[in-house]
Amino acid sequence: MKAGIFFTGTGPILLLTTYESLNDSKLIEKLAVKGVKKFIAYEISEEKVKEKYGLQFKTIMSDLRQTDDLRVLDYDGHHIFNTISFKELGEPLFFEA
């Protein structure tokens, strides 16, 4: 399981995915279908996301299929910025279609 914050044209979103990486071509295709064709993504540890999102994380995970998939855990940029520290982010991944 991968967790990542994606900074898009409409603001940050926190995603959970079963894809191997945040730049997996199938994940990028799914994001493009949803209108996300350019982003900066940062991986964040699954443990940190579990710790900070608690029940919301559990609820989303119980609905996550064990095949290639993704779920939006948080799309409130203000909440994401107040919940996740920049120190907890991995290296940036830049993508532009």
Q: What is the pLDDT of residue 22?
A: 94
Distance CA 81, CA 18 (A): 24
Q: Which pLDDT score is estimated for 4?
A: 95
Q: Check pLDDT > 90 for residue 5.
A: yes
Quote the pTM value.
0.87
Domain ranges of the chain: 2-96
